Structure 1
């Protein structure tokens, strides 16, 4: 049975998760990883900080998307659900691939193009950051049988078992064990970090959070247990945090004589997964206490956050391309990139997307009230 009451805490967490994605992408040109545009110098400290936040933002976003999927399905038949998902996900994905992402391709490979139109002439279309929308749609459709099962009385025994396990303070922690096992095993077969849906290690990892959101939403009591055990979950997160950075910062020569490279990678996936699961479950508990409040600011943010997500990386790359060429420090460039790209993204949303039916439609927004 799904409680259809508006969950303002989940709305806030969705906004926070996408803002975390924004700040992550702001840092990408400066952390030494392979981004679409790269600064001539990189910061090891920034990379060490960003590796932590890489474990949080997408798992949280997929779990919240799982809850949203159940809420969306609770009002519709499966055919109506497919239509709604297509409208909200496929239309923005197609529009974004054709018109939002090409500038990213142009500035990434600017030296090989004589003009922007060559991106279209060559058919150089990518989804880039919109992979999340693509994967979300595929997961939503593939999991329709599971959604129907969770909506029916046939799932009562499973949900009762989940409630019983969640009642124990160790219960939520234990429910993360299959995620640990699945991730370690699949990474041996699919070691790539690609977010393509065919990379099963990535798909099952994020899919686990997505399905967890669906099960939490179908449960009658698990949300209250997340509140009740939030301090224990926080302790688990702190321990996971220490283990994560302890292993991350451990010099390889201390461990390489004793473990093969395969086992060392397995340990890395272990600490990463522990950190992700304990953080997300902790935040779900504290979020209900701190964020479950209605506000005008939340309403405006919740309405804007989806087009903001679609736009943000393109704005970061266009503005960032010129900023990284400046003779400034990395910290100065990051602040300048935030001070320009964030208000510019909001401005484009307010002037060109928010007021008009057609732009609201292609950006996956609901019609204006």
Structure 2
């Protein structure tokens, strides 16, 4: 396998991707979308910015998860791999649904409940942000045959072919074509934006990045080409970003006479794919220069980032519910939500999760001997 040593750039990107999810959720009560709690006023500018970053924050997370899946399998049999995935993913998922997500449900529907325990009496259990963990688990199981194939010598011809394509100047960029075909085709049958695993337009789209993370992890020379063509890919990303905003900001009356609503949505899916894919291949190239360095801070962050993800949305919604009631402008509320939620998440992790074996298991952390004074 290509990943025979620790890839610190991928560790950094995992941390960055999850922090990007955190910052995105900080903005959600204020951008006018349908979040669990909503401020009375919303910011169109904030929404215009967030819609751009939505195109690559989750694709990046799924791609990094794909590379991590290859790494997790590299020293295990498929049975050991399934057991490891169940411990690291299913236990935090069930625990999260039962104890982490209910506060979100309560504050979202607070006027419908007499007390917090009504959430349990009514069995109002939801996945909310933990949908990612569920999707990751099922994707990990489905790709086991592909992983076994990539581990075997039978994959040599495929990986060499993949490397030859990525060696071309626009080879990496060309893979946006199957991504576009997957999203446009699947959206015709599954138009929902739901992240449910059975919504195949979402599952196939994120699954594409997950599988390509596996391919990148298995094709050693591809990393060289990601680095080599990083500046070209950056130009493609800038061009795609200009096209994205040109279409996003274009008045509807300019285009509606010439295209049906379905055609306009298909154009939107195309520009989204262009931005998402070009950002990914650009970042993977530059990250090898910027981030591929060992760091004690990275080691601590990499260990903490999974519990951070599990906790973050609940803390944001609990604090956000009270903050949006204040008579302050949106910018001040966002800053206030940031400076209150982040320290609380860190403190919960440091003093309630990190030191104890049971909480480490419940939050998907590896068990290890904790040094005590």
SS for the counterpart of 1:126 is coil
Deviations 1:81-111 (A, max 9, x none): 0000000000000000000000000000000
- Aligned CA RMSD, in angstroms, stands at 0.6
Deviations 1:161-190 (A, max 9, x none): 000001011000012210011111111111
2: distance between equivalents of 1:341 and 1:10? 26
Does structure 2 retain, via aligned residues, the 8 Å contact 1:67–1:217?
yes
Determine the structure 2 residue equivalent to 1:368.
368
Determine the structure 2 residue equivalent to 1:293.
293
1: distance between equivalents of 2:51 and 2:3? 36
Matched, 1:316 2:350: no
1:28 Cα deviation (Å)? Answer: 0.3
Determine the structure 2 residue equivalent to 1:130.
130
Does structure 2 retain, via aligned residues, the 8 Å contact 1:103–1:318?
yes
Determine the structure 2 residue equivalent to 1:90.
90
2: distance between equivalents of 1:152 and 1:72? 16
1:2 Cα deviation (Å)? Answer: 2.9
2: distance between equivalents of 1:195 and 1:361? 26
Q: Equivalences for 1:1-369 in 2 at 5 Å?
A: 1-369=1-369
> Which range moved further: 170-179 or 314-323?
170-179
1:368 Cα deviation (Å)? Answer: 2.8
2: distance between equivalents of 1:231 and 1:8? 21
* TM-score w.r.t. length of structure 2: 0.98
1: distance between equivalents of 2:8 and 2:60? 15
Does structure 2 retain, via aligned residues, the 8 Å contact 1:312–1:345?
yes
Deviations 1:206-258 (A, max 9, x none): 00000000001110200010000000100110000000000000000000000
2: distance between equivalents of 1:119 and 1:220? 50
* TM-score w.r.t. length of structure 1: 0.99
Gaps in structure 2 of 5+ consecutive residues: none
Does structure 2 retain, via aligned residues, the 8 Å contact 1:2–1:71?
no
1: distance between equivalents of 2:182 and 2:92? 32
> What is the number of residues matched between the two proteins?
369
2: distance between equivalents of 1:224 and 1:204? 27
1: distance between equivalents of 2:2 and 2:246? 41
SS for the counterpart of 1:250 is coil
1: distance between equivalents of 2:221 and 2:275? 24
1:367 Cα deviation (Å)? Answer: 1.5
Structure 1 runs of 4+ with >6 Å offset: none
Deviations 1:273-314 (A, max 9, x none): 110000011000000110000111101110100000000000
2: distance between equivalents of 1:4 and 1:91? 28
1: distance between equivalents of 2:147 and 2:121? 42
Does structure 2 retain, via aligned residues, the 8 Å contact 1:29–1:35?
yes
1: distance between equivalents of 2:78 and 2:169? 36
1:3 Cα deviation (Å)? Answer: 2.7
